[in-house]
Amino acid sequence: HIYADAKAASRAVAEEIADLIRQKQREGKPCVLGLATGSSPKTVYAELIRMHREEGLSFRNVVTFNLDEYYPMEPDSLQSYWRFMREQLFDHVDIPAGNYHVPDGTIRTDKVGEFSKQYEAQIEAAGGLDFQLLGIGGNGHIGFNEPGSLINSHTRLMMLDNSTRAAASNDFGGLPKTPRKAITMGVASILSARRVVLLAWGERKAPVIRGAVEGTVTEQNPASYLQTHPNALFVIDEAAASEL
């Protein structure tokens, strides 16, 4: 779906998420959302907060699992995805504390494997992901599944690409201080969601969007794996669609 701008696109995505939350409320069930960080989903979160404030959209039945976290990373660090999610969404809605999960960037290296298995087990115990929101890296990464990630990859520690670190380096005060690793949900974990929506805004994303949508399915562009999903949607603005 191509929209004139990110605002109109974000409104449509927030509307879909809100409809899902309300439907699950009517069924008396939890609504399990996979959430993303980065700049792209910010406008979706802002719209959900507006719906909470002005339309009484409740998040009491919402359970969330974030895609990724830098490693190592303290939750209260300025750059942590835990902090990002609290500031961009959780602190502004009525989601119960304990219902939201972000991979733990403080876990000991030798425990990351065990932690990753538990994270996936928690998602499964919650009933699986009803909806997964995604951004896309300039190199096609989804979550932090960098090029080379396999379609059957699970939650794990990932070495970040140089281009990913360079894109994040402003937030960390330069490349040397930018983390080299992250914990990310795997491609298989993402594809297990019953619905997947990927967001991309701006001309900068146009080449990678073209590859993901029109190119072959390849580990060189992990977003292209979404072509194999029965219920995935790319929601992009005209600039990101300019090479389609």
Q: Interface with ligand GLP includes 144 (CB under 6 A)?
A: yes
- What contacts 111, CB < 8 A, 6 or more positions away? none
54 belongs to the catalytic site: no
Q: Residue type for 197, please?
A: V
Q: How far is the CB of 164 from ligand GLP (least distance, A)?
A: 6
Q: Interface with ligand GLP includes 136 (CB under 6 A)?
A: yes
Q: How far is the CB of 56 from ligand GLP (least distance, A)?
A: 29
- Among 34, 103, 105, 135, indicate the residue that binds ligand GLP (CB under 6 A): 135
Near ligand GLP by CB under 6 A, which window of 56-64, 108-116, 136-144, 224-232?
136-144
179, two tokens: 């983390």
**SS3 state of residue 47:** helix
Q: What is the distance between the alpha carbons of residues 153 and 174, in angstroms, rounded to a whole number? A: 30
Q: Interface with ligand GLP includes 40 (CB under 6 A)?
A: yes
CA dihedral 195→201→205→209, nearest 10 degrees, is 30
Q: Interface with ligand GLP includes 155 (CB under 6 A)?
A: no
Q: What is the distance between the alpha carbons of residues 41 and 142, in angstroms, rounded to a whole number? A: 13
174, two tokens: 């330069």
Q: How many CA atoms lie within 13 A of 119 on its CB side?
A: 30
Q: Interface with ligand GLP includes 139 (CB under 6 A)?
A: no
Near ligand GLP by CB under 6 A, which window of 51-59, 92-100, 135-143, 172-180?
135-143
Q: What is the distance between the alpha carbons of residues 138 and 200, in angstroms, rounded to a whole number? A: 10
CB-nearer residue toward ligand GLP: 18 or 183:
183
CB atoms within 10 A of CB 27: 10
Q: Interface with ligand GLP includes 36 (CB under 6 A)?
A: yes
154, two tokens: 């699970």
Edge-first strand order for the sheet with 156-159 is: 68-71, 181-184, 156-159
- Among 9, 13, 18, 67, indicate the residue that binds ligand GLP (CB under 6 A): 67
Q: Which of 47, 69, 120, 146 is catalytic?
A: 146
Q: Interface with ligand GLP includes 170 (CB under 6 A)?
A: no
Q: How far is the CB of 141 from ligand GLP (least distance, A)?
A: 6
Closest residue to ligand GLP in the complex (CB): 135
- Among 34, 103, 105, 137, indicate the residue that binds ligand GLP (CB under 6 A): 137
Q: Which residues pair with 225 in a beta bridge?
A: none
User: What residues act catalytically?
Assistant: 146
Footprint of ligand GLP on this chain (CB under 6 A)? 36-40, 67-68, 135-137, 143-144, 164
